Every structure is written in C-alpha cells, then in structure tokens.
A and B are shown apart, each in its own frame.
Chain A
Amino acid sequence: MKKELKIPQIKNGTVIDHINAGNAVKVLHILGIPKSTSSIVSVAMNVKSKFGKKDIVKVENRELDPNEVNKIALIAPKATINFIREYEVAKKHRVELPDEIIGILSCANPTCVSNAKEPVKSRFKIINKDPPRVKCYYCERELEDIAERII
C-alpha cells in the first residue's frame, strides 16, 4: 500500500518529528512562529505512529540553532529534528535536555532573586528529563508550567 504523507515534503528547512500529540502549538510558540518567519509552516497533529499519536511541524527555509533545540526539549522531550536540504535529510538528531539550562526559562517565583535587577541569567536544574521537570537554581522552586515560562 502506498504510504501517503500527511503534509508535503519540504525542499529546505527543518522537520520536527515525534512531538507529543497536542504539543505542536507550544512548539510553534517557542519558535516564535509566525512572527519569526515568513516562510511556509505546516503542522500535522495526532498523526498515527509506532508509539501512538504524535505531532509534526515543518518549517521551510529555516534550520534551528542549538538554543532553540534545547527549548523544544523542554516541552517535547522525544522530538527529533531533521534538517532538510534539497529534499534530503542532511542532519538528524534527537533533542536532549542538558543537566542545566541557562537563560531559557524565567522563574515563576516573583520574589526569586533571578527576577530582581541583578546581573545574572535565569538558571534551572533539570530534575527529570521525560517528562521534563525543572527547578530554579536560585530559589529551588519547581516550575509548574514550563511552556508558560519560556523566554
């Protein structure tokens, strides 16, 4: 049986695959789409796969930088990032949360020193990678809604 693609192949750009079903919109938010790009962005949600349902995002003419990849790992820890060049997968890698993330999230605690006017970037320890759980390095509070606190 011929396999049918839910969204068309792209010539150049990035395909973010294996996003937890329902999280594609949050990924778009992290990437600043639509503001950050004028190229075509395709989204497929609840696509059937070997591991249940997943979402897929295809961004044309843009390759993500490592900082953006880390951000995606915070809400889609199983995602894979494929860089497409001339319709071929030029590079493929799985997102992986580091042990610590700096300057990506802001602490939800209004009295945390990282929210005061001090010359430091926000800093979070990863206490669980999948599902992601993070704790502020400064005030030690756990973030309840990670997606909401992405800078």
Chain B
Amino acid sequence: MQYFLIPMNFEGRDIISIKDFSKKEINYILEYSKEMVDYAKGKKQNNLLKGKVLSSLFFEPSTRTRLSFNSAMNRLGGRIIGFSDPSGTSQKKGESLADTVRMADAYSDAIVIRHPHEGAARLAAEFAEVPVLNAGDGAGRHPTQCLLDLFTIITEKKKIKNKKIILLGDLKYGRTVHSIAYALSLYGAELTFVSPSSLKMPNEVINECRELGSEPTSTANLEKAIKDADVLYVTRIQKERFPDAEEYNRVVGTYKIDNSLLERAKKDLVVMHPLPRTTEIDSEVDSTHHAVYFKQAFNGVPVRMALLSLVMGGKL
C-alpha cells in the first residue's frame, strides 16, 4: 500500500490518546493492521516479537481488550506477564501506581494498562522507559478501541469521509465515544449524536469536532436519524459511571435496536458496538447483515498486533 512507501518509526512510542497521533500516522497504523489480519486469524504465523515480554496490568475488569491484547502478543510470538485483578498485587498494600509501573518497566519490553483513574496511562508513561499502551483509563481515553473502530468502518465502508455516522447512547460518560467523535471528525465523517437529554455529548467534545471542520448535529430522535445513516455506533449506558442509581434508572432502556427499527434504515447500514452490551441491541439483530460488532471485536486483534509490533520494533 501507499503508506508503506514511507515507513514510519513508532519504536518506543507510547499509545496514550488518539490525539497524540496525526492522521498520517493513524493511516499508517490502519494499513499495517490490514497486513496483520491473516496472522490474527491464525492463517499465517510470524515471530515478530519472539523473546519480547509484555506486562498486562489490568486494574479494572475487561474481556475483549485484555484477551485481544493477549491474543495479539501470542500471535506475534511474544510472552505476557501481569494481572487481571489488582487484589493479588502490592496495590492492595498501598503501593502507588508509579511504583507498580516501575516494576513492570524492569520486567518487560512494553506495558499495557487499564486503570480506573483518568490519566493513569499518561502517568505510567512518565515512570516507564518502555512503551505504554493505554487500554482504558477510567472515563477517559481508550485509543486502541478508537483505532479498531476506525479500522472496522474502513473495512466495512471503504472510507470514512462523508459517511453519515450516528453515535448513540451514553455520550456523556462513555469513554469510547469522545475519542471516536474526535477521530471521525478528523476523517470528515458527518456525525449525528443521539442520546437522552441528560447524557448529551459534552460541549468540549462538540467544540473539538468543530475545530476539525465537522458540524455534528445532536438529537434525541433515533428513528429519524437512522433513515439515511451509514453507520450506527451504539454504546452501553454504563451503570458504573453514574453518580447515582436514580439517574441511571431514568435513562436505561431509552433506545433499543431491533429488527423493526432497522427496517427504517438503509440496507447497508452497519451496527457497531464496543461491547459489552446489555439490552441496547436485541439478540435478533446478531444474525442480520447489519451486525458487525463481533467482527469489530475481532478487529481488536490485528490492530493491537500492529501496535505492539510497531512500538516494540517488530517489522513484517
């Protein structure tokens, strides 16, 4: 591909926020991810990261992100150390995150971290010599999710520019939608934000989109918005991010994606979701051609393979 004509060097680079990367760099990562698909499926093998060790520090629960990072490292021939529950670590004894990171830095060639505090990955990067990959910091950033979302849209729709994309659900607390709104604006998508009025996209994010030349529209009316959409990006209303249960109960179940709603949509509309889902997408949608959320979850592997090999200096 064109981008490989000018190889970019990401060795030693931290992956903390999508905003740390130019569009050109994102393009390069996405192109490189395409090259990884057959390896991610096990159709081809490589040992790009043989002899390398990845620290996987998960201070919060995760299924897809942790497993796909593990799968990615294994597919590249590397090894993983770490934990998925901090209760068995010295954090329990009151050790600071900085000291835990210093240890992981000494024991490995790269660190993947998920933590409940916003900015934790940025802090980790200050204390680690090896590259740090942010796997979600509280309600903050989740750059590898953002990259795999972009990868999925490009794979499904060929391009992002001028595509009508709906971001639906918890746009206030959702950690993925803020990054994806920024990134989609960078690529010239036509954005519509659909949410209950109490979970609207923060003005700060809308302003960032505008600064990138995007003119997002906001509405609570999904039935109207879905008619000409190319992509419907659904998010879960996250109970754990709500300050009180009453507010959560008021809004949960506001939107439900089912086959009768999708009858109003364009035939080639794709439905995405970062998962896990609860009740926002009915399981009857899973078997329709609209549903790409499981493919999207798979795409986490090639994208994370690309990132791991790039930051640890393994080249195809």
Contact = CB atoms under 8 A, between A and B. Distances in A.
A109 interface: yes
Output the residue of A114, A116, A141 with the most chain B CB within 10 A: A116
B298 to A, nearest CB: 29
Interface residues of A, number: 17
Contacts of A113: 97, 115, 117-120, 122-123, 137
Given A113-B97, A113-B119, A114-B119, A120 B126 contact: yes
A116 B118 contact: no
A23 B311 CA distance: 48
B98 A138 contact: no
Contact of B117 (A116, A119, A140): A116
Contact of B96 (A111, A119, A139): A119
Nearest to B126: A120
B119 A136 contact: yes
A119 B95 CA distance: 11
Nearest to A114: B119
Nearest to B178: A140
Interface of B is mostly: mixed
B80 interface: no
B17 A140 contact: yes
Interface of A is mostly: loop
Contacts of B140: 139-140
Contacts, number: 53
A139 B98 contact: no
Interface string B286-308: 00000000000000000000000
Contact of A139 (B19, B97, B118): B118
A118 B123 contact: yes
Contacts of B313: none
B95 to A, nearest CB: 10
B98 A111 contact: no
A120 B141 CA distance: 20
B314 interface: no
Interface of B: 17, 19, 96-98, 115-120, 122-123, 126, 137-141, 204
20 contacts: A109-B118, A111-B117, A111-B138, A111-B139, A112-B119, A113-B123, A114-B119, A116-B117, A117-B96, A119-B96, A120-B98, A120-B123, A137-B119, A137-B122, A138-B119, A138-B122, A139-B119, A140-B17, A140-B140, A141-B204
Interface of A: 109, 111-114, 116-120, 136-142
